Amino acid sequence: MAHENDPSRLMNVHEINAQIPRKVRFDGSTIGALSFGLAVLLCGLAVLAWLSLDTAKKLHIQSTLLQDGRLVNGTITASFVNRGGTDVKYRFIVDNVLYSGHAEMSADDYSVPGDPHLISIRYLPADPRVNQPVNWKWASVWDLFPFLLLISMTAVGAKAVIIAQKMSNLVRNGLVVVGRVTGCTPKNKLFTVFYVFESQAKEEIEGSSDLQEEYEAGTAIPVIYLRSNPKRNAKYPVSGFRTIQ
Amino acid sequence: MSLWQVAQSSGLCPVHRGLMAMRGRHYNEGRRSRSVALGDRGYAYDWRAYTYDDRPHMSRQRSVSSYRQLPRQILQPTHRPLHVQGPVRWPPVATGHAAWILYAGGEPVNITDPSGRDTVEFALRTEEAVPMAKLVDIYGCFAGVAFASVSLDLPRQDPDWRTGVGAAGATFGCVSLYFPESSANAVVQGIITATPAVNYAFCGFAIYGLIHDLNEVAEGKENASVAVSDAFGALTGCVGARLSTLIKTP
């Protein structure tokens, strides 16, 4: 419970506001969370970029082969089932030269009907190294779920980074005023404290923060808000961010 | 003082008094029920005592979920229960472990619990429940890592991007255990609140993998161990995540 003689009430608001723009430092928990978010975001983006480029490249080869390619039957040398379909390795002969390739086939009917050891290949006569199975498809419905998982993890990383950036901006440029607590409700292991404060434009703004302490209605509470967007506000000092002189 | 007397003395409207009389057990002490009912002088209760300051524009009925989104003016903790029955103590004395005897917090000699609800709510709401939730998370973490290891090891070919994503999803829960739920840090809370979404996505991924693998096993293309691995993952993602969420937010 916040007491009437809470030291935060005694802080000199004018002195705090005179330091704008403040120098902001992250504390250990913020650094940990931000590092985790950044790592997840970068890894997720890297995988997404690789997937996109790989698919774009294969689609380009497919469109090229559809225009200028020739058909030949290749021999399946190996096939492995994976979670997206079947990884097929094959080889074929053009002008007495042996070429090989591999592709991930989403459909089961990739082999030539009647002979499960053969696969129909389309290749570029000018350079047979550019080849692709005829039945290759760029997407499979089975890929939806791993893709969703990848997107959700990347989104968590992005969320952590965006929140850190927003809160950092708030602490750096925010104006500190004394607000008034209007309500308090438990939220898991924290308390959501509702408050009102008056902006520079003499407008009464409502806000809330998740805090470790419970506050009584009517208690004064220091609030920091952005002058350009008063709806972005939080209790001051902001947990996880500290300012230095 | 009876519940009816309390209702009368509190100046509540007749409808409200009737409600309280009918659901007296539910509202007893006016502090533990999560139900919200609003009469002419509406009020909202949580497990601690709250009063509601009169606002003419407020609707007369609100659901629990809308209660959580009530505007700023609603909840003013008074630390003064509306009514406290004589022999009931709150909170019950901590038992130090999951209750062996749920009745009266495992101490029926010293504590009376006429409603039979106190200990359950206590177990779900207090610090006592946290280790249990943490335990479920830790179980999910280890099961996830096991799933990831089996997934990476069992397939006969090099792992593809889906296996990598699955392994990352499985271990995501372990890393998120590092962040304390009691932290008021907005960045930490952002990760914690988003983690269930990842767990459910992982759940979907593992179920998809299981169906796929069972198809392959049925067709004789794949060994059953991979399917077992995916089933393990599905259990981790779905049951573990849901169970943990239920314990933390009853």
Least confident range of A22-36, A102-116, B224-238: B224-238
Q: Using pLDDT thresholds of 50, 70 and 90, give the confidence band for residue A161.
A: very high
Dump pLDDT digits (tens) for B142-158: 666 666 666 655 555 55
User: Strands, E, within chain B: which ranges?
Assistant: 50-52, 75-77
Mark which residues 99-118 of A lie under 8 Å from B by CB: 104
Q: Which residue has the higher pLDDT, B114 or B207?
A: B207
Is pLDDT of A46 > 70? yes
Is pLDDT of B129 > 70? no
Whether residue A244 contacts residue A23, with contact meaning beta carbons closer than 8 Å, is answered with yes
Least confident range of A89-98, A131-140, A201-210, B80-89: B80-89
pLDDT at B152: 56
pLDDT at A158: 95
Q: Using pLDDT thresholds of 50, 70 and 90, give the confidence band for residue A14.
A: confident
Q: A25 to chain B: which residues are within 8 Å by CB?
A: none
Q: Using pLDDT thresholds of 50, 70 and 90, give the confidence band for residue A60.
A: very high
Q: Which residue has the higher pLDDT, B47 or B135?
A: B135
Q: Which residue has the higher pLDDT, B80 or A245?
A: A245
| Whole-model pTM over 0.80 | no
pLDDT at B238: 66
Q: Which residue is it, tokens 């003064």?
A: B80
Q: Residue B236, Cβ neighbours under 10 Å: how many?
A: 27
Mean predicted confidence (pLDDT) in A94-121: 84
Q: Give the start-to-end residue ranges of the domains of chain A.
A: 1-20+174-245, 69-139
pLDDT at A21: 85
- Please name the member of A34, A37, A183 whose beta carbon is closest to the beta carbon of B74: A183
Q: Does residue B79 come out as left (phi exceeding 0), alpha (psi in the -120 to 50 range) or beta?
A: left
CATH class of segment(s) A1-20+174-245: mainly beta
**Partners of B16 in the β-ladder:** none
Residue among A156, A165, A190, A239 with most chain B CBs within 10 A, to mutate: A156
> Residue B176: which of B209, B198, B156 has the closest Cα?
B198
pLDDT at B29: 37
The verdict on a CB contact (< 8 Å) between B191 and A160 is yes
pLDDT at B99: 40
The verdict on a CB contact (< 8 Å) between B221 and A81 is yes
Task: Give chain B's mean pLDDT.
Answer: 56
> Residue A217: which of A24, A1, A16 has the closest Cα?
A1
The verdict on a CB contact (< 8 Å) between A82 and B157 is yes
CA distance A152 to B235: 19
Q: What percent of chain B has pLDDT over 90?
A: 0
The H or E element containing residue A156 is helix A144-173
What token pair was written down for B163?
């296996």
The H or E element containing residue A207 is strand A204-211
SS3 B231: helix
- Looking at residue A96, what DSSP letter applies? T
Dump pLDDT digits (tens) for A113-147: 878 788 999 999 999 999 999 988 887 777 888 88
pLDDT at A49: 93
Complex-level ipTM: 0.79
Dump pLDDT digits (tens) for B94-126: 444 344 444 455 555 555 555 555 555 554 554
Residue among B185, B189, B212 with most chain A CBs within 10 A, to mutate: B185
Dump pLDDT digits (tens) for B26-55: 333 333 333 333 333 333 333 343 334 433
Q: A49 to chain B: which residues are within 8 Å by CB?
A: none
Size of interface A-B (CB pairs under 8 A): 182
Is pLDDT of B61 > 60? no
Distance from CA of B238 to the nearest CA of A (A): 13
Helix axes A28-68, B161-176, angle to 10 degrees: 170
Mean predicted confidence (pLDDT) in B3-26: 45
> What values do phi and psi take at A107, rounded to 5?
-90, 155
Q: Using pLDDT thresholds of 50, 70 and 90, give the confidence band for residue B69.
A: very low
pLDDT at B27: 37
The verdict on a CB contact (< 8 Å) between B195 and A43 is no
pLDDT at A38: 93
Cα dihedral sign, A68-A73-A78-A79: positive
Q: Which residue has the higher pLDDT, A240 or A2?
A: A240
pLDDT at A12: 78
The verdict on a CB contact (< 8 Å) between A149 and B161 is no
The verdict on a CB contact (< 8 Å) between B188 and A30 is yes
Is pLDDT of B87 > 50? no
- Please name the member of A156, A159, A182 whose beta carbon is closest to the beta carbon of B72: A182
What token pair was written down for A140?
């499979």
pLDDT at A188: 77
Q: Give the start-to-end residue ranges of the domains of chain B.
A: 1-85, 87-123, 129-248
Mean predicted confidence (pLDDT) in A228-237: 90
Distance from CA of A96 to the nearest CA of B (A): 30
Distance from CA of A107 to the nearest CA of B (A): 13
- β-pairing, A70-82 vs A115-124, is antiparallel
Q: Residue A118, Cβ neighbours under 10 Å: how many?
A: 16
Q: B180 to chain A: which residues are within 8 Å by CB?
A: 29
The verdict on a CB contact (< 8 Å) between A47 and B161 is yes
Task: Give chain A's mean pLDDT.
Answer: 86
